[in-house]
A and B are shown apart, each in its own frame.
Chain A
Amino acid sequence: MKLSLRALREFVDFQGSARELSDLLAGLGFPTDGIAHSGQGLDQVVVGQVLTKKKHPQADRLNLLTVSIGAETLPIVCGAQNMVEGDFVALAPVGARVPGKDGSGLDIKEAKIRGETSKGMCCSLAELALSGDSDGIWILPKQKITSEHLGKKLNTLFDLEDWILDVDVTPNRPDMMSVRGAARELAAKLGTKMKPLNFAKWKAGPATFPIVESHSDCYGFAACHVTGVRYGESPESLRNFVEAAGSRSISNLVDVTNKVLFGLGHPIHFFDAEKVDLQSLQARRAKSGERLTLLGGKTIELTTEDLVIADKTGPLSLAGIMGGEASSVTSSTKSIVIEVAAFNPRLIRTSARRHELSSESSMRFERGLTPHRLDEVMEYALSLVKEVSGFESASGSKVVDKQIKIKDVQWDRSRVEAKIGALKLSDEDVFKLLKRLDYEVTPKGSTVLIQFPWYRVDCQFLEDVMEDVARIIGYEELEKRRLRIEEPVESLLKSRSVENLKRPLEQSFISAGFVEVINLSFSSEQAETRLGFSKEIGHMHYVNLSNPLQADRDILRGRLLPGLVQKAVFNYLHGEDEIRLFETARCFWFDKSRVELPIVEEERLACVWLPRVTDEKKMWASRVDPYFVFKGLVEKLWSAYRWTAKPTIDRPSLHPQNWSALGCGFYGELHPRIVKGLDISGRVFVGEWTLDIAEKKSKYETPDQYPAIDMDVCFVLDRSVKAAEILNCFQKTKAAHVENMALYDEYSAPELGEGKRSLTFTIRYRSKERTLTSDEVKQSHDALVAGALRQFATFGIALR
């Protein structure tokens, strides 16, 4: 909300600076986003009078003026067109410095513009930072300025300096969306008095007027018929008030509605009484199919969820949001109907959203205004109409829901102190403080009843009272305590044990050279399926968003790899080296069959490796195929964990051979066709796993006491036989004393024969009870070798 320091001083006696005001409001819970200082350069600007005006000979859009400032007459080249000879203007002579349109300061220098000398500038309101925008230069009002004033500084003639604070108002405080609200908070804090407002009385009018269809839609409605008004320009003070609040001055009557809106925070509406049937004036739901042309000319289609002010001819205005064009106040208006009402904030909010209309008025009604003091608002409006236009008669009536009561609560000092700490003030002092905020304090037997201010909408608990007490006293004055650690009752949300395992797991990926990334959870079906993933997993499908930020980020990701591979490519294209990325995050699936929340959230880990090294790092580059580097790394990283759930994870399109399942997941080489589609060259290794994991139990045993005997065996056989098949075969033989076995060499050469290779295994034999004899070992070893020779006879197996 824009809060003018000058406007504030109409409501409260405050002599402090804008900065002090800003600090005080921040301390009360309403911080300031910025302070604008307007009317600053007026001591640099003098009154001038346009003596002659003719076109610039070289430029159609420019005018050559001669401007008198009393002592001398200056030649001025001016881009604006809105002056005529004889007009008084705001002239900044050479050497002056004015705020400029962007507020950064503008120094006036003598200049030659297209061959013509200019010795100063005729200023617009915007150039003097008196208005956000303005058409043409500022023509000074003739009723105020005469030729006597020529050459006089503007700050001696106009009182225009002001400070505008941009105050953040929390949504629970509609009352603070007004100058009076801010003034009231300030007065309470400083212990000063508010200035009294002017009110003008109105007479009771016909009882049937106005009509309220439903009190749950319209809490109260006061209408007053005012005759003999005079449409015209606003006086300077009224114009300044509404412009300082960020509005534009339109006419005396419209400006009055805005002064009430900004001043009291209660929006009101003026209808042209001649365009309204008073006897049927009512607040009602719109009928389906009704249409209304709003101020500004936009026509909207109404629904039964819209609240309108209507008469027998149909809707006149969209209640609380915007007036209708047909019934609006114009220059021919002679009498008006003033509407002061309180509406259900939900209706206003949904209506404003549906029609995409947000106004200063709807913003206030949405936050909630009470019907308790409609008369006060009416009488303040009337006094303003009287002041700026005058009127002959004012009569009307109001309808208010009697069920709406101002809430109250019993004072309980011990509860207050239990929550905000021991108070230094006595009860009496606390009550005094509350009264300054419009609370009513009534002793009732041995207790005290605290009634909330009539304008506070969401107060009902003692906590609300506590907050106001704490706010006014200041939080720094409240009791402080020392940190007290209590052993908590453990809540049993299930993901926690995984969280504790995730950290060391992540650390080991980091130690293995992987860089952790955080991708956003948003994705698109196209991005998700690019790697060859399917759109569904069983009966589950992607989680779709109703209101995505962008059309291509309209689902939640179901796997981590699509986003992770994309980031690897992104880094590749930026010339990054040795790209190893990993991410742990949740993946989301929509599962309608689930009770309560139809979403599956699965914690996962994925990694990607683009083994690329630039020349500077090629020295010592490994000659091992990167698949085996990746395999070794991944198996090592997972070696301490086991999976506690069954695998549900699906795979992208992988190389037909180079991959393997591992726990609830897989690792391997991305299919070269997919890699080609990513516009990169080289090989891409990926892995993804669910994190339903547990730590493998550590087993601590006495180290072996007897020596091991290692025996080798070397076969030549067809390439089609996998190393693992031979190891499996060894295992099946169940030879005695075998402790361990491993492949340790692979060798290919033409002399081995076409399609053959040689594999060398080492087998370790050991007994826990004694030292083995060479005969025992030989017996076991021969059995293993014989078994393999038998099983792979058809693959041309031979000892080498």
Chain B
Amino acid sequence: MLSKDMIGALESYYSKALTELEFVKTTADVERIRVSYLGKKGLISEILAKLKDLTPDQKKEVGQVGTRVRGDLETKLVSLQSKLGEAELDQKLVRDSFDTTMPGVFFASGSQHPIKKVLNECIEILRRAGLVDVYGPEVELEDYCFDRLNFKPGHAARDMQATFFVKDSDVPVVMRTHTSPVQVRVLLEAAQNNFALPIRIQAPGRVYRVDDDRTHSPMFHQIEGLGVDQWSSMGDLRAVLDFFFRQFFDQGVKVRFRPSYFPFTEPSVEVDVSCVFCRGQGCKVCKQSGWLEVAGAGMVHPEVFSLCGWDPSKVQGWAFGMGIERLAMLKLGISDLRLFFENRLSFLRGGSL
């Protein structure tokens, strides 16, 4: 074949290919065209394969045309391929997609018990106030639960806390009725440890009383605080409780002390917060008083110091205690105590805090 004919054929295949490309619809068509012109046995490739038989001048002449034609064609093919490819992918995604309204794989949802949520929150707040959490036994020596906390044997104060007694023990053993025996354990231990000060502890945990009705559970939770040093006053107790309740509820909450009686503190106070439902305006929950009773507190009784091995003229301190169930009911808006211990999943999985 003459070089002229070869150039003519190249130009003719090129324009034929361009014409064919005008009618392509799919990437497969594009590919077919590529193969038929530029594939190994393609029309253009076959012509170019014969270049080796030509003279250098002819080679140069035909080669130039061949390179241009092939380059142009290739560029056009690639751009068409990608243009059609994208459209085809879009169509494919629509065509092949599944029914996304079907449900996802079912995962059971876990949850923390509401009492634990509130208890842990209390622990965290008190940690921020500098109180180290310590834990004592739930089955406790009667001596630590009452006597060393200045509940005198035979005193009517013991009746304030109906107590479960353990059988068969040589020493009297009770289910602790409050977390306060942890105070005794901490004071006794610190007394052995050269009366190290200051003491700043919190004691969260379970407590038990012989009581079972709409508003009492025989097992419930308390958290206790104790601060001992040489200078802490009622004013410092007030500061800790102010901090606690403002953090626990909100910063608008007011705290009030009312005189009361506990054998292990003197002076003793009941702690009220302004009603969190009506902001102290008076409502059903606070019985129109604007206040909610939430804790008991006071200055550690000198007898408690003496009974735990300390000289009450040399140290002083405060203590407080409160019921977690009460706080949880107020915070979570739960009105029936029994729901906490019934443990129905649909209650426990209920909303988040």
Interface string of A15-50 (1 = CB under 8 A from B): 000000000001111010000000000000000000
Q: Counting CB contacts under 8 A, is B169 at the interface?
A: yes
Q: Counting CB contacts under 8 A, is B310 at the interface?
A: no
Chain A residues 351 to 403 lying within 8 A of chain B, measured CB to CB, are: 366-367
Q: Name which of A71-79, A467-475, A659-667 contacts chain B.
A: A467-475
Number of chain A interface residues as a range: 35 or more
Q: Counting CB contacts under 8 A, is A551 at the interface?
A: no
| Residue pair A517, B343 in contact (C-beta under 8 Å) | yes
| Residue pair B235, A481 in contact (C-beta under 8 Å) | yes
Complex-state Cα separation, A467 to B234, whole angstroms:
11
Q: A421-B234, A576-B346, A620-B106 are in contact. Are A463 and B200 (CB under 8 A)?
A: no
Least CB distance, B311 to chain A, in whole angstroms: 13
Interface-central residue, B175, B193, B233, by most chain A CB under 10 Å: B233
| Residue pair A586, B138 in contact (C-beta under 8 Å) | yes
Interface string of B187-199 (1 = CB under 8 A from A): 0011001001111
Q: Counting CB contacts under 8 A, is B111 at the interface?
A: yes
Contacts of A481 in B (CB 8 A): 233, 235-236, 238-239
Least CB distance, B120 to chain A, in whole angstroms: 7
| Residue pair A476, B164 in contact (C-beta under 8 Å) | no
| Residue pair A466, B135 in contact (C-beta under 8 Å) | no
- Tell which of B154, B170, B256, B268 touches A467, judged by Cβ atoms closer than 8 Å: B268
Interface string of A214-227 (1 = CB under 8 A from B): 00000000000000
Contacts of B197 in A (CB 8 A): 489
Complex-state Cα separation, A484 to B239, whole angstroms:
8
Q: Counting CB contacts under 8 A, is A567 at the interface?
A: yes
| Residue pair A601, B267 in contact (C-beta under 8 Å) | no
Contacts of A470 in B (CB 8 A): 234, 259, 267
Least CB distance, B80 to chain A, in whole angstroms: 41
Q: Counting CB contacts under 8 A, is A161 at the interface?
A: no
Contacts of A467 in B (CB 8 A): 259, 266-268
Complex-state Cα separation, A111 to B138, whole angstroms:
64
Contacts of A495 in B (CB 8 A): 135
Complex-state Cα separation, A578 to B155, whole angstroms:
52
Q: A481-B238, A619-B102 are in contact. Are A518 and B115 (CB under 8 A)?
A: yes
- Tell which of A480, A579, A596 touches B141, judged by Cβ atoms closer than 8 Å: A596
- CB closest residue in chain B, given A599: B139
Least CB distance, A482 to chain B, in whole angstroms: 6
- CB closest residue in chain B, given A548: B164
| Residue pair A421, B233 in contact (C-beta under 8 Å) | yes
Q: Name which of A197-205, A263-271, A538-546 contacts chain B.
A: A538-546
- Tell which of B138, B156, B168, B259 touches A29, judged by Cβ atoms closer than 8 Å: B259
Interface string of B314-344 (1 = CB under 8 A from A): 0010000000000000000000000011011
Chain A residues 561 to 575 lying within 8 A of chain B, measured CB to CB, are: 567, 570-571, 574
Q: Counting CB contacts under 8 A, is B149 at the interface?
A: no
Q: Name which of B66-74, B125-133, B275-283 contacts chain A.
A: B125-133
Chain A residues 553 to 601 lying within 8 A of chain B, measured CB to CB, are: 556, 567, 570-571, 574, 576-581, 585-586, 588, 590, 592, 596-599, 601
Q: Counting CB contacts under 8 A, is B56 at the interface?
A: no
Q: A29-B260, A491-B186 are in contact. Are A571 and B345 (CB under 8 A)?
A: yes
Q: Counting CB contacts under 8 A, is A490 at the interface?
A: yes
Interface string of A493-522 (1 = CB under 8 A from B): 101100100010011011111111111111
Complex-state Cα separation, A545 to B169, whole angstroms:
10
Q: Counting CB contacts under 8 A, is B351 at the interface?
A: no
Q: Counting CB contacts under 8 A, is B249 at the interface?
A: no
Contacts of A548 in B (CB 8 A): 164
| Residue pair A171, B106 in contact (C-beta under 8 Å) | no
Q: A29-B261, A419-B234 are in contact. Are A574 and B344 (CB under 8 A)?
A: yes
Q: Counting CB contacts under 8 A, is B148 at the interface?
A: no
Contacts of A601 in B (CB 8 A): 137-139
| Residue pair A556, B349 in contact (C-beta under 8 Å) | no
Complex-state Cα separation, A483 to B166, whole angstroms:
41
- Tell which of A421, A484, A549 touches B218, judged by Cβ atoms closer than 8 Å: A549
Q: A549-B210, A596-B171 are in contact. Are A489 and B267 (CB under 8 A)?
A: no
Contacts of B95 in A (CB 8 A): none
Complex-state Cα separation, A171 to B152, whole angstroms:
12
Least CB distance, A451 to chain B, in whole angstroms: 18
Contacts of A511 in B (CB 8 A): 110
| Residue pair A547, B344 in contact (C-beta under 8 Å) | no
- CB closest residue in chain A, given B209: A549
- CB closest residue in chain B, given A511: B110
Q: Counting CB contacts under 8 A, is B165 at the interface?
A: yes
| Residue pair A515, B345 in contact (C-beta under 8 Å) | yes
Q: Counting CB contacts under 8 A, is B54 at the interface?
A: no
Complex-state Cα separation, A73 to B115, whole angstroms:
66
Least CB distance, A574 to chain B, in whole angstroms: 6
Complex-state Cα separation, A171 to B157, whole angstroms:
6
Complex-state Cα separation, A1 to B164, whole angstroms:
27
- Tell which of B152, B167, B189, B303 touches A545, judged by Cβ atoms closer than 8 Å: B167
| Residue pair B108, A578 in contact (C-beta under 8 Å) | yes
- Tell which of A26, A420, A544, A547 touches B258, judged by Cβ atoms closer than 8 Å: A26
- CB closest residue in chain B, given A621: B106
Q: A483-B243, A601-B137 are in contact. Are A518 and B343 (CB under 8 A)?
A: yes
Some 24 contacts from A to B, beta carbons below 8 A apart, are A171-B157, A171-B261, A173-B261, A463-B299, A470-B267, A475-B257, A483-B129, A486-B198, A488-B131, A491-B132, A507-B112, A510-B111, A513-B107, A520-B341, A544-B168, A547-B165, A576-B345, A578-B108, A581-B343, A588-B138, A597-B171, A601-B137, A601-B139, A619-B102
What 10 A-B pairs have minimum CB-CB distances, sorted nearest first? A29-B259, A346-B154, A170-B261, A488-B200, A513-B108, A467-B267, A481-B235, A475-B257, A510-B110, A171-B156
B-to-A contact residues, CB < 8 Å: 102-113, 115-116, 120, 129-141, 152-157, 159-160, 164-171, 173, 175, 182, 185-186, 189-190, 193, 196-201, 206, 208, 210, 212, 217-219, 229, 231, 233-236, 238-240, 242-243, 256-261, 263, 266-270, 299, 301-303, 316, 340-341, 343-346, 348-349
Beyond A171-B159, A547-B164, A620-B106, 9 additional pairs, beta carbon < 8 A: A463-B301, A481-B235, A483-B240, A491-B186, A520-B217, A546-B167, A556-B139, A598-B173, A619-B106
A-to-B contact residues, CB < 8 Å: 26-29, 31, 170-173, 345-346, 349-350, 366-367, 418-421, 458, 461, 463-464, 466-467, 470-471, 475-476, 478-493, 495-496, 499, 503, 506-507, 509-522, 543-549, 556, 567, 570-571, 574, 576-581, 585-586, 588, 590, 592, 596-599, 601, 613, 617, 619-621
